[in-house]
Chain A
Amino acid sequence: MSGYVEGILVLLAINVVFAYGAFLPIAAGQLNLGIAGFAAIGGYVSAFLSNNAAVPVPVAILVGGLAAAMVALAVAVPVLRTRGIYLALATFALGEIVRAAILNIELVGGAAGYPVVAFIRFPTIAAFAAGVAVVVWLLFATRFGIAITAVHDDERVADLMGLNVRAFQVAAFALGAGFAGIGGGLYAHHFSYVEAQYFGITLSISIVLFVLFGGTQSVLGPLLGATVFTLLPELLRGSAQWRYVFFASIVIVVMVLRPQGLVTGVQMPRLFRDHRERARTGRAA
């Protein structure tokens, strides 16, 4: 595998992990614009552990994810009091505070960035990405997925049906933050260097774009969105200067043509169900 191809695939796998981190809260009706802040927590915590405590890298990355999830749990109670665009802005402010705080922690290099000694390659990163995707897929095959969807569609009705709306929102938010933290750890250990500036609002926005572009109704959406968003700029590389111009134009046009995202909830099951039904009854559906 050439270095170039590996670089793209690594980025793709990390983006998939990030996308699932943003997908969980969005699936529960919350836009987390501070997702990069949680990625930064995961990245820095795991890097610190593997640099200073000789913790094996995969363990350090998982602990980094856990740390991000714990921070999310701690702030979820005040932050999730807000709703809609207020929540999005509160998470945005939170992400910026995390980034600005890291800039001031000299222990991890402050503004100069933090070098990471341990190095992981594509297979490890791909394994993590696959693990995250499988966990989300399994979650959405259980009551948890149905409950999250119910909370997203109508909080009040979900509440009336006896769901603990608040608990599900906090769970989705914290779990998503944990995945973002894992993504940050993967990033830190592949690129051998983390700097707080990378984990700004631009990263949060790109991650949210992956999810909304791919579609929020199906667990396949984030996967597809992250793939398109990682590969498309590379395919457009031929016209280096203009590639982000083309890229943004494509996003704008696709959102007009398919505002629900590329993959929707009904479309996938329908594809398979029709197929199965046709096989069973022997009639053309």
Chain B
Amino acid sequence: MLIYFQQIVNGLMLGSIYAMVAVALTLGMGILRFLNFSIPGLFMIGGMLTWALVRDAVPWPLAAGAALLMAAVASLVVELFTWRWMRKADEFVPLVSSMAFLILFENLAVAYWGSDLQSLPQLFAGADWRVAGLVISVPQVAGLILSIVLIAGLSLILRKTRLGRALRTIAEDADTALLLGIPIHRIVPSVFLISGIFAALSGVLFAVNYRQVHPFMGEALGLKGISAMVVGGMGNIWGAIAGGLIIGCAEVMSIDLFGADFVDISVYGLLLLILMVRPTGLFGAPAGARA
């Protein structure tokens, strides 16, 4: 019995990483109706830059901060090429450009750091709680709490502030928002900024907790993040948290029950099933962003 509780704990920890990636994705879907494939690349930038700076003896909080800053800047560049200059394009085109950004980021990382798997030193040695026989890693719990706090903050911004109201108007209809005098070209970058920071922070947490990074680390995580977003309902940020935790647990449990070979079948089977039976996700979201 204990082993199952331990698996659930592990699943929740993994799920909190998926949840942040899912939030980054779901913001773009909910507000701009744009599936931003550069998010996995920003996740990777967060992880790899943290590793590279820690390796060069930079203190880890500084390294993580620099990684977040870099990803935020990169995300603003993505905004120019997938949104600002693409308003008149077909709906698939920004998707293509964001995929090209993923390729770009990954191969920049390969060019700088090589394509090998790199390991981080253990930053928090012995930081484990033992509760009733369960092993709970403190940095992982800190990550889980941090992600929930940040997502709650984001939800508050969307519901209560002027920026949030503008974003929800853009989610309804960008052209109408423009007519109503909302400066969409000043506001839309904030969506990219927030999703870039969420994605990169998730990458930093992954690097610190699982201590392994490589240039293509974003792909698998990004795909799980997409699944989490769909499970939670696209555009629904609280759904993204729930989706992330569900996918994390489903993954860990199916490794335990059926073996590692069946993980993908169960995760993607769940995704396909939800898309067919209940395309709005388990928690139901309208087309617009729901805070």
Residues of A within 8 A of B (CB): 26, 31, 78-79, 81-82, 84-86, 88-90, 92-94, 96-97, 99-101, 103-104, 111, 201-202, 205, 208-209, 212-213, 216, 241-242, 244-245, 247-249, 251-252, 255-256, 259-260
B276 touches A85 (CB 8 A): no
B100 touches A251 (CB 8 A): yes
A260 touches B90 (CB 8 A): yes
* A212 to B, closest residue via Cβ: B96
Q: Please give, as numbers and ranges, the residues of chain A lying within 8 Å of B234 by CB-CB distance.
A: 85
Q: Per-residue 0/1 for B95-125: is the Cβ within 8 Å of any A Cβ (1 yes, 0 no)? A: 1110111011011101100000000000000
Q: Please give, as numbers and ranges, the residues of chain A lying within 8 Å of B100 by CB-CB distance.
A: 209, 248, 251-252, 255
Interface SS majority for chain A = helix
B276 touches A79 (CB 8 A): yes
Q: Please give, as numbers and ranges, the residues of chain A lying within 8 Å of B104 by CB-CB distance.
A: 244-245, 248-249, 252
A90 CA to B275 CA, complexed, in Å: 6
Q: In whole Å, how far is B87's beta carbon from the nearest beta carbon of chain A?
A: 10
A85 CA to B265 CA, complexed, in Å: 21
Within B250-289, which residues are at the interface with A (CB < 8 Å)? 261-265, 268-269, 271-272, 275-276, 279
Residues of B within 8 A of A (CB): 29, 33, 35, 37, 81, 85-86, 88-93, 95-97, 99-101, 103-104, 106-108, 110-111, 219, 223, 226-227, 230, 234, 261-265, 268-269, 271-272, 275-276, 279
* B109 to A, closest residue via Cβ: A245
A252 CA to B100 CA, complexed, in Å: 6
| Known contacts A82-B276, A251-B97, A256-B97, then 12 further A-B pairs from the complex at CB < 8 Å, ordered by chain A residue | A31-B92, A85-B29, A93-B268, A94-B268, A100-B268, A201-B219, A202-B219, A212-B92, A212-B96, A242-B111, A244-B106, A248-B107
A97 touches B219 (CB 8 A): no
A81 CA to B234 CA, complexed, in Å: 17
A89 touches B111 (CB 8 A): no
Q: In whole Å, how far is B95's beta carbon from the nearest beta carbon of chain A?
A: 8
Q: Please give, as numbers and ranges, the residues of chain B lying within 8 Å of A252 by CB-CB distance.
A: 81, 97, 100-101, 104
B261 touches A104 (CB 8 A): yes
A259 touches B275 (CB 8 A): no
Q: Please give, as numbers and ranges, the residues of chain A lying within 8 Å of B91 by CB-CB distance.
A: 84
Q: Please give, as numbers and ranges, the residues of chain A lying within 8 Å of B219 by CB-CB distance.
A: 201-202
B103 touches A96 (CB 8 A): no
